[in-house]
C-alpha cells in the first residue's frame, strides 16, 4: 500500500527529475552493454577473421616411396580434418610453344595434378582467367612466357621421358603460388624459395597418365602432397589458443606419421603471425574499453545520487513522524525500482538498437548474457547510489542534522589521504617501469608458443585518469571555497555586479560543484583521449600503408620482367606526377639474407615521401645527399650495425647474385648511415644503396619496381590500362594497401571500438554537462523561487544559473581536455607495439574535440535557458520549505 503511495507521489512531484535520472542510467547501461557485446563478438570471431584467407591449412608432403594411402589413413585417424585432397607435383624441364612463326621455350617448371573437387574445397588456390578448368590450365605467367592461349598446344619436356603435348583449356592466376610450391620439411632460414615461373595445372587423371612413368624413371622429380582443411570447430576462438591447438594437432599427426610425411602448417604460421595482433586487440579492449564502462558507472552514480539532500530531508520528516529506518527507506527503494528498472530496460533496448545498427548480432548466449549483466549492473548502481547513502544517513544522522541542506563542509576522506596524488604517483611508477621494457606490453615471439601480456601496465592510464579527475576536484574546490578573488573575477563576466554574492553562494556548494567538475573532466578526458588515440592510430596506419606501398602507386615486376622497362609509358600516363625506378634485389650480409634497394638518391624523393623519421640522423635530405656523394655508400638497419659492430666509413662486403652467371659474388660497400624505415622495405633488416653501383656490380640494370606519385586517385586504374598485359607486373594503389592494413585484427577491433566510444563519449560529455547541471538546478528550485520572489530579474536569476554552468562547464571541459591529452599521450606511448610504425607524436583531432566542447557548452546553455524560463514567473507555493 505504502509502495503505491510513494510511487504515485514520485510520479506526481518528481516525474521530470526521475525521467532524467533514468535517462542517465539508460545511457550508462547502453554504453556498458554495447562495449561488452562488441568485445565479446570481436573476440569470438578473431580466429575466424584471422584465418579466413588461409588457402590450405596443412600441406602434408609424402616421403618418396611411401604409400600415400597409409598417410591419408593416418590423417583420417587423427580425426582433425574436414577435407583431405591429394595433389601431385612433377618437375618439368621446360615448356615450349609455337605461335605464329616463333617458338617460345621456357625454363624448368612444374606440372601439378588435382582432383575434380579440389577447387571446390580450396577455391582460393586458382583463379580462372579464361577458358575452362576441365583440362590443362596454364599459369598466367607461363602463358605470357609462351605467348600461348586457350586452344594452343604446348610441349612438356619431361625428365627421363619423351616430350608430351597438351592442349591448353584455360589460363589461370595462382594467388597463393608461394604457399602452393613451398618447400615442405626444409629447415627455415635457407635461401629464399621462389615459386616456379612456369606451371601447368592438370586434372588428376591426365597428370597420372603423363607422369606416372616419370615417377618410375625419375622418382626424385615427382612428389605427392595431401592438402588438408582442418575441422574449424576444433580451433579455439582466441588466435593465441588457436595457435597452440593447431600446433598440437600438427605434432600429433607428425607422431602418427612417424617420418612418412612432412607437414607444412600454414594455419599455425598464419596464427603465429597474428598472435601479437590478437593480443594487442585484447589489450586495446582493456585499455580503451574499460574506462568507458567505469565512466558510465560514475555518470550513473552521479545522476542517481543527485537527489540525496531531498531524500535526506524526507527521511528526517518520516522519522519525525515515528517511522523506523526500514520504513524511511521505502521511498528511496521505490525510486531505485523506478529509475533503475526504467533506466536498465531503456539502456538494454538502446544497446540492442545500436548493435543492430552496426551489424552485431545479439542472438548469441554471450551477447544476451552481457546485455542482462549490464542491465542488472545499472539497477545495482542505481540501488547503491540511492539506497546506501539513504541507509547511512538514516543510521548516522540525527533528525535535526538530516534536515540541513548545506553542502558537507568536511573534506572527503580521499582528499585528506591525498589519494589523487597517490594515484598520479602510481601512474608515474608503472609508466616508468613499462618504459624500462621498451614498451613491450605484448610479447609473442615468432615461432615460440609462449606469450605474455603485461596487464598490470593497464593500471598506469587508469590511475592517471582517476588521479587527474580527483586532482581537478581538489583544485576546483580550492578555487571555489570562500568566494575566492579568482572565482569572482571569472564570474564578473557572467554575473556582473552580482559576482560577489554569486561567488559566495557557489563557495558554499564547492563540494557538489567540484564533483560536477570532476565528472565532466573525466567524461571529456575519456572522449578526447579516445579521439586522439584513434586519429593517431589511423595516421600511423596511413604511414604504414605509405611505407608498405612505397608511394601512391607501386608497380612491381621481377628481375626478368622489371617494371622499370615501362618507365616511359608510366611517366606518360595521365594522373602521374612523377615516377622513379627502384631496384629490389637480395644480398647476403654474412649468413643473413636481406632485401637490397637500389635508388637514385637525387631523384627518388620526387615519387615517394622520405620522412626524416626514417633515418637515424632524422635528416632525410642530408642522408640522401651523402648517399649520392658516396658511389658505394650503403644504408643499413640498426640491427645490422649492432650485429657487425659497424662504424661509419667501414667496408661492408655483401654477396650479390650476378646476372651474367647467376652466381653470388662479393661486392664491397661503404657504411654511411642507418635507415629505420624505407618505402616498401620489410620491418626487419634491409639495405639501401646507389642503383648505378649495384647495376655495375651485378651486370644488371633491371629496375624491378617503379614508384609513382599520383595527382589523380584513378591513376592506378589508368596505369593498369596503359601497361602491357604482363602477369609479372603488379600495380597496387595506396588505397588497396590501406584497406589491407585496416583489416588487421587490431585495426578492425580498434575501429569498431573507437567508433562506439567516440559516439558514446559525446553523449556522456553531454550527459555530464546537461543532466548533472540540470538535476542540480532542480535540487535548488526553491532557492531560485526565493530569488524571484525577492525581485530578481530574469537576467539576475540567469546570472546565478549561468555562473554555475560556466564554473562547472569551463573548468570541467578545460581540465578534461588536459586529461585527454595526457592519457592519450600515455596510451600511445605504452601501446607503441600496436602501431606500425610507432608515432613520434600524437595527432590531435581538433574537429571532434571542438564538437565535443561546443556540444557540451550548447547543452549547458540550453539547460540554463530552460531553467530561466521555468522560473520566469514566481510561484508562491515553491517558496514553502520541502
Residues binding other proteins (CB under 8 A)? 404-407, 497-498, 501, 504-506, 508-509, 780, 783, 786-787, 789-793, 796, 873-874, 876, 879-881
Q: Among candidates 254, 344, 266, 312, which has minimal Cα distance to 59?
A: 266
Three cell numbers, residue 411: 573534506
Cis check for the bond before 837: say yes or no (omega within 30 of 0).
yes
CB of 873 to other proteins, least distance (A): 8
Between 142 and 509, CB nearer to other proteins:
509
CA within 13 Å, CB half, 759: 14
Least Å from the CB of residue 787 to other proteins:
7
- CA separation for the pair 502, 742 (Å, rounded): 53
CB nearer to other proteins: pick between 454 and 782: 782
Which grid coordinates are listed for 258?
612417424
Least CB distance from residue 804 to other proteins, whole Å?
11
Main-chain phi, psi angles of 557, to 5 degrees: -120, -145
| Alpha-carbon distance values, 276 to 286, 444, 548, 738, 795 (Å) | 15, 5, 19, 20, 60
User: Smaller CB distance to other proteins: residue 480 or 599?
Assistant: 480
With a CB cutoff of 8 Å and minimum separation 6, the contacts of 657 are 585, 586, 663, 664, 665, 698
Task: Kindly state the smallest distance separating residue 498's Cβ from other proteins, in Å.
Answer: 7
Helix or strand run (H / E) with residue 842: none
Backbone φ/ψ region at 297: left (φ over 0), alpha (ψ -120 to 50), beta: alpha
Nearest approach in angstroms of CB 780 to other proteins is 8
Nearer to other proteins, 313 or 626 (CB): 313
Q: In the complex, what is the shortest distance from the CB of residue 875 to other proteins, in angstroms, rounded to a whole number?
A: 8
From the CB of 455, what's the least distance to other proteins, in Å?
46
Distance CA 224, CA 238 (A): 33
Question: Nearest approach, Cβ of 314 to other proteins (angstroms)?
Answer: 16
Query: Closest distance between other proteins and the C-beta of residue 16, in Å?
Result: 21
How near is the Cβ of 1 to other proteins at its closest, in Å?
24
Of the pair 155, 803, the CB lying nearest other proteins is at: 803
Smallest gap, in angstroms, from Cβ of residue 393 to other proteins? 15
Q: Phi then psi for 126, rounded to 5 degrees?
A: -135, 135
Identity of the residue, 152 or 882, whose beta carbon is nearer to other proteins in the bound complex = 882
**Residue placing its CB nearer to other proteins in the complex, 444 or 792:** 792
- Whole-angstrom CA distances from 636 to 625, 642, 647 are 16, 10, 11
Closer residue to other proteins (CB): 281 or 778: 778
In the complex with other proteins, the residue whose CB is nearer, 506 or 771, is 506
Give least dist CB 415 to other proteins, A.
Answer: 21
Q: How far apart are CA 611 and CA 598, in angstroms?
A: 18
Count of CB atoms within 10 A of residue 355's CB? 22
Q: Residue 120 or residue 789: which is nearer to other proteins going by CB?
A: 789
511 versus 550: smaller Cβ distance to other proteins? 511
Q: Which is nearer to other proteins, 407 or 736 (CB)?
A: 407
**Cβ distance to other proteins smaller for residue 234 or 313:** 313
Nearer to other proteins, 447 or 876 (CB): 876
Query: Distances from the Cα of 274 to the Cαs of 52, 179, 446, 450, in angstroms?
Result: 12, 17, 10, 14
Helix (H) or strand (E) holding 614: none
End-to-end CA distance of the chain: 23
Bridge partners for 452 per DSSP: 443
Radius of gyration of the chain measured on its C-alpha atoms: 35
Q: How far is the CB of 785 from other proteins (least distance, A)?
A: 8
Minimum Å gap between C-beta 519 and other proteins is: 20
Q: CB 800 → other proteins: shortest distance, Å?
A: 10
SS3 assignment, position 358: coil
- Tell me whether residue 330 or residue 405 sits nearer to other proteins (CB atom): 405
Grid look-up 559576482 returns: 499
| 3-class state of residue 171 by DSSP | strand
Separation of alpha carbons 353 and 335, rounded Å = 26
For cell 523506478, name the residue. 338
Please answer whether residues 170 and 154 qualify as being in contact, where contact means their C-beta atoms are separated by less than 8 angstroms. Answer: no
- Residue entry with cell 587490431: 746
Q: Identify which of residues 562 and 798 has a Cβ nearer to other proteins in the complex.
A: 798
**Closest approach of Cβ 394 to other proteins, in Å?**
19
Which CB atom, from 100 or from 791, has the smaller least distance to other proteins? Answer: 791
CB of 881 to other proteins, least distance (A): 5
Q: Which three cell numbers stand for residue 71?
A: 598417410
Indicate the length of the chain as a whole number: 882
CA-wise closest residue to 728 among 551, 549, 564: 564
Contacts of 19 (CB under 8 A, 6+ apart): 342
Rounded Cα–Cα distance for residues 685 and 688 (Å): 10
What is the number of helices (H) and of strands (E) in the chain?
Answer: 33, 24
CA–chain centroid gap for 861, Å, is 37
C-beta of residue 263 within 8 angstroms of C-beta of residue 254: yes
Q: How far is the CB of 772 from other proteins (least distance, A)?
A: 17
Query: Nearer to other proteins by C-beta: 497 or 840?
Result: 497
Contacts for 739 with CB less than 8 Å, ≥ 6 apart:
none
Burial code (b: 16+ CB inside 10 Å, e: under 16) for 512-537 equals: bbbbbbbbbbbbbbbbbbbbbbbbbb
CB atoms within 10 A of CB 129: 15
Amino acid at each position: 500500500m505504502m509502495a503505491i503511495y510513494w510511487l504515485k507521489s514520485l510520479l506526481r512531484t518528481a516525474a521530470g527529475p526521475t525521467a532524467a535520472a533514468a535517462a542517465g542510467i539508460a545511457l550508462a547501461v547502453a554504453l556498458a552493454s554495447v562495449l561488452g557485446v562488441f568485445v565479446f563478438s570481436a573476440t569470438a570471431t578473431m580466429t575466424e577473421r584471422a584465418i579466413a584467407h588461409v588457402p590450405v591449412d596443412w600441406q602434408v608432403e609424402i616421403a618418396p616411396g611411401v604409400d600415400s594411402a597409409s598417410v591419408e589413413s593416418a590423417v583420417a585417424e587423427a580425426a582433425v580434418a574436414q577435407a583431405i585432397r591429394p595433389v601431385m607435383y612433377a618437375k618439368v624441364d621446360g615448356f615450349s610453344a609455337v605461335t605464329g612463326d616463333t617458338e617460345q621455350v621456357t625454363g624448368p617448371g612444374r606440372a601439378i595434378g588435382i582432383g575434380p573437387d579440389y577447387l571446390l574445397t580450396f577455391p582460393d588456390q586458382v583463379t580462372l582467367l579464361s577458358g575452362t578448368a576441365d583440362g590443362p590450365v596454364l599459369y598466367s605467367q607461363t602463358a605470357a612466357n609462351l605467348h600461348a592461349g586457350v586452344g594452343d598446344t604446348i610441349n612438356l619436356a619431361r625428365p627421363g621421358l619423351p616430350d608430351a603435348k597438351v592442349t591448353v583449356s584455360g589460363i589461370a592466376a595462382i594467388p597463393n603460388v608461394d604457399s602452393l610450391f613451398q618447400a615442405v620439411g626444409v629447415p627455415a632460414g635457407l635461401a629464399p624459395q621462389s615459386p616456379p615461373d612456369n606451371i601447368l595445372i592438370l586434372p588428376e587423371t591426365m597428370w597420372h597418365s603423363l607422369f606416372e612413368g616419370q615417377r618410375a624413371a625419375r622418382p626424385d622429380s615427382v612428389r605427392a602432397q595431401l592438402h588438408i582443411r582442418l575441422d574449424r570447430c576444433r580451433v579455439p576462438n582466441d588466435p593465441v589458443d588457436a595457435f597452440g591447438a593447431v600446433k598440437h594437432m600438427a605434432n600429433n599427426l607428425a607422431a602418427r606419421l612417424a617420418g612418412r610425411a612432412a607437414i607444412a602448417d600454414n594455419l599455425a604460421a598464419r596464427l603465429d603471425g597474428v598472435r601479437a595482433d590478437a593480443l594487442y586487440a585484447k589489450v586495446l579492449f582493456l585499455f580503451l574499453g574499460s574506462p568507458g564502462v567505469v565512466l558510465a558507472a560514475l555518470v550513473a552514480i552521479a545522476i542517481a545520487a543527485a537527489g540525496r539532500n531531498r531524500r535526506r530531508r524526507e527521511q528526517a520528516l518520516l522519522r519525525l513522524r515515528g517511522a523506523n529506518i526500514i520504513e524511511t527507506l521505502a521511498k528511496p527503494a521505490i525510486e531505485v525500482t523506478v529509475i533503475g528498472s526504467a533506466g536498465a530496460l531503456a539502456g538494454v533496448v538502446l544497446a540492442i538498437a545500436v548493435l543492430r545498427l552496426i551489424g552485431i548480432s545479439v542472438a548469441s548466449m554471450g551477447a544476451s548474457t552481457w546485455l542482462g549483466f549490464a542491465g542488472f549492473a545499472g539497477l545495482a548502481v542505481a540501488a547503491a547510489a540511492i539506497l546506501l547513502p539513504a541507509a547511512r544517513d538514516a543510521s548516522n544522522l540525527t533528525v535535526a542534522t538530516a534536515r540541513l541542506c548545506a553542502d558537507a563542509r568536511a573534506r572527503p576522506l580521499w582528499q585528506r589521504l591525498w589519494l589523487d596524488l597517490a594515484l598520479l604517483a602510481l601512474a608515474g611508477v608503472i609508466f616508468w617501469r613499462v618504459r624500462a621494457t621498451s614498451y613491450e606490453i605484448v610479447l609473442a615471439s615468432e615461432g615460440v608458443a609462449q606469450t605474455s601480456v603485461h596487464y598490470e601496465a593497464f593500471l598506469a592510464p587508469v590511475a592517471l585518469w582517476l588521479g587527474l579527475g580527483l586532482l581537478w576536484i581538489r583544485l576546483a574546490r580550492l578555487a571555489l571555497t570562500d568566494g575566492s578573488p579568482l572565482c569572482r573575477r571569472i564570474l564578473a563576466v557572467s554575473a556582473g555586479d552580482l559576482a560577489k554574492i554569486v561567488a559566495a553562494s557557489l563557495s558554499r556548494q564547492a563540494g557538489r560543484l567540484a564533483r560536477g567538475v570532476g565528472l565532466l573532466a573525466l567524461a571529456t578526458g575519456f572522449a578526447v583521449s579516445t579521439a586522439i588515440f584513434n586519429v593517431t592510430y589511423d595516421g600511423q596506419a596511413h604511414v604504414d600503408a605509405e611505407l608498405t606501398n612505397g608511394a601512391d602507386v607501386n608497380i612491381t615486376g621481377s628481375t626478368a620482367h622489371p617494371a622499370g622497362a615501362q618507365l616511359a609509358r608510366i611517366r606518360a600516363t595521365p594522373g602521374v606526377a612523377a615516377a622513379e625506378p627502384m631496384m629490389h634485389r637480395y644480398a647476403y650480409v654474412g649468413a643473413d639474407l636481406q632485401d637490397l634497394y637500389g635508388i637514385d638518391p637525387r631523384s627518388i624523393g620526387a615519387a615517394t615521401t622520405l620522412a626524416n623519421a626514417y633515418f637515424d640522423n632524422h635528416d632525410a635530405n642530408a642522408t640522401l645527399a651523402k648517399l649520392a656523394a658516396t658511389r658505394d655508400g650503403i644504408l643499413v638497419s640498426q640491427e645490422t650495425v649492432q650485429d657487425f659492430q659497424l662504424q661509419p666509413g667501414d667496408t661492408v662486403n655483401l654477396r650479390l647474385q650476378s646476372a651474367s652467371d647467376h652466381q653470388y659474388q662479393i661486392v664491397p660497400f661503404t657504411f654511411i648511415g642507418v635507415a629505420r624505415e624505407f618505402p616498401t622495405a620489410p620491418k626487419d633488416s634491409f639495405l639501401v644503396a646507389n642503383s648505378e653501383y649495384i647495376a655495375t656490380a651485378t651486370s644488371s640494370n633491371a629496375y624491378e619496381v617503379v614508384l609513382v606519385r599520383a595527382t589523380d586517385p584513378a591513376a592506378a586504374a589508368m596505369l593498369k590500362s596503359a601497361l602491357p598485359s604482363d602477369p609479372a607486373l603488379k600495380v597496387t594503389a595506396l588505397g588497396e594497401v590501406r584497406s589491407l592494413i585496416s583489416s588487421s585484427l587490431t585495426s578492425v577491433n580498434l575501429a569498431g571500438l573507437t567508433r562506439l566510444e567516440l559516439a558514446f563519449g559525446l553523449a556522456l560529455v553531454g550527459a555530464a554537462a546537461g543532466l548533472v547541471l540540470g538535476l542540480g538546478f532542480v535540487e535548488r528550485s526553491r532557492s531560485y523561487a526565493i530569488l524571484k520572489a525577492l525581485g530578481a530579474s530574469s537576467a539576475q536569476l540567469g546570472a546565478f544559473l549561468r555562473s554555475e554552468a560556466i564554473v562547472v562547464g569551463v573548468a570541467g571541459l578545460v581540465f578534461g581536455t588536459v586529461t585527454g591529452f595526457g592519457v592519450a599521450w600515455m596510451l600511445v606511448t605504452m601501446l607503441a607495439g600496436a602501431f606500425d610504425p610507432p608515432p613520434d607524436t600524437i595527432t590531435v583531432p581538433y574537429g571532434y574535440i571542438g564538437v565535443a566542447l561546443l556540444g557540451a557548452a550548447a547543452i549547458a546553455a540550453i539547460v540554463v535557458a530552460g531553467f530561466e524560463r521555468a522560473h520566469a514567473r514566481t510561484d508562491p507555493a515553491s517558496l514553502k520549505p520541502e
